[in-house]
Amino acid sequence: MKQGIHPQYFDQCKVTCACGNSFTTGSTVEKIDVDVCSKCHPFFTGQQKFVDIKGRIDKFNEKMAAGKANAAKKTAKVKASK
């Protein structure tokens, strides 16, 4: 192996799930935060679970609604000053 080209390897990488489960593994990162693990994933548990994490579309729709609300406030303010 060539020296100096490989990332540092952590034998005791701590993985923490959103459900509270944590375990150690080996990785090139020291700490990993995951949303779903084998203790809470529907494939392993056999139970359906809705993860309450907003997707990109939900975030985009919220930004658009906030932008429209701000624009409406600005136009109402301009009309009131006339």
Residues 33 and 63 in one domain: no
pLDDT of residue 79 exceeding 80, the answer is no
Residues 6 and 33 in one domain: yes
Q: Domain residues for 6?
A: 1-44
Based on the structure, what is the number of domains in the chain? 2
Predicted confidence (pLDDT) per residue in 43-72, tens digit: 777 777 665 666 788 888 899 999 888 888
What string of DSSP letters covers the chain? Answer: --TT-SPP-EEEEEEEETTS-EEEEEESSSEEEES--TTT-HHHHSS--------HHHHHHHHHHHHHHHHHHHHHHHHHH-
Q: Per the confidence metrics, is the pTM higher than 0.95?
A: no
**Would you state the pLDDT for residue 50?**
62
Residues 17 and 36 in one domain: yes
Q: What is the CATH number of the domain that holds 37?
A: 4.10.80.400
Residues 73 and 34 in one domain: no
Predicted confidence (pLDDT) per residue in 12-32, tens digit: 999 999 888 999 999 999 999
